Amino acid sequence: MSVLTLKGPRWVTVRQHRRALWALPAAVAASLGVVVALRWWAGNPAGLLWNVPDGPLRVGMEYAGMAMLFLPLLLGAFVAGPMVARELESGTYRLALTQSATPRAWLASKITVAGVAAVAGSAALAGVYRLGWAPLEGTYRFSWADRGPYEVLGTVLVAYCLLGVAVGALVGQLVRRTLAAMAATGLVTGLVMALLGALRWSILPVRTLTASGVGNGVPMPPGDSLMMDTGLVTASGGRLPEWTCFARSGSLRACPEDLNVAGWYVDYHPAAHYWPTQSIETAVVLALAALVLWAAFAVLRARHR
């Protein structure tokens, strides 16, 4: 972001936090270098093969996927602490208000700069992650539904980063203490991510496969599916846990007649559910971010009437 094209509060914000803003492209460049090196090593006949379970590429990308989930928390904490709460705590924001800048313009400049950096940085890091993930696609812990690949390869990571920015702008004003605001923002953003992550596979209805007869075994959905539940189905359509027959008869292939078991069922999400789930979750997160931003400006108006 060039300061030559910015004016007023946005120019001041970029100047104040230019080191942090430069840290994002530096992180992207460093990540790209590491991923390229790991992929070269994985494909080098003299080195370790990339499909070795404990190979360097696999281990590195597992850590990278988990680290990317903390990006919204870090961005939100930075907005809440250094960008908003620290200026309110020290009183330096009053200087901006004496330079023909309204309180609304002061806060909007923080949110605009942080939002642009969040979108650009998260999208660039996601592109680097995809480069390292490609050789591992579909393997253990690298399927479309796994934590890490699910968020980073779609649109929800960018949405969560914007939510972190919005939460930081609100919490920074409410708490007005740098460290406390950073901790509170990280906690709130993390709780929202955990809650929506727990609910995401309830957004779309599962598909169900059934197999008649206990001895025929569990029906298998397509290999790239996300299995949600499996068990026994009775002749009346009821469901029983998969261990019910074994608990009574000691065998998975023989059931007591009084259970009236007709066969097996499997609930699953096909890979085709990935983008619809992503789109709905992204829309929910962006709606939450918009609501939090409205609350942030409402708090600002209430304190500067």
Residue with tokens 């680097």: 128
The torsion angles phi and psi of 2, rounded to 5 degrees, stand at: -85, 130
Q: What is the spatial distance between Cα 13 and Cα 106, in angstroms, rounded to a whole number?
A: 9
205-258 per-position pLDDT tens digit:
999 999 988 877 789 999 899 999 999 999 998 999 988 888 888 776 778 888
Q: How many CB atoms lie within 10 A of CB 296?
A: 25
Q: What is the spatial distance between Cα 205 and Cα 166, in angstroms, rounded to a whole number?
A: 31
Q: What is the spatial distance between Cα 36 and Cα 30, in angstroms, rounded to a whole number?
A: 10
Question: Does 94 score more than 80 pLDDT?
Answer: no
Q: What is the pLDDT of residue 55?
A: 78
Question: Does 4 score more than 50 pLDDT?
Answer: no
145-169 per-position pLDDT tens digit:
999 999 999 999 999 999 999 999 9
Q: Which residues pair with 212 in a beta bridge?
A: 263
Tokens of 10: 């946005």
Q: What is the spatial distance between Cα 63 and Cα 66, in angstroms, rounded to a whole number?
A: 5
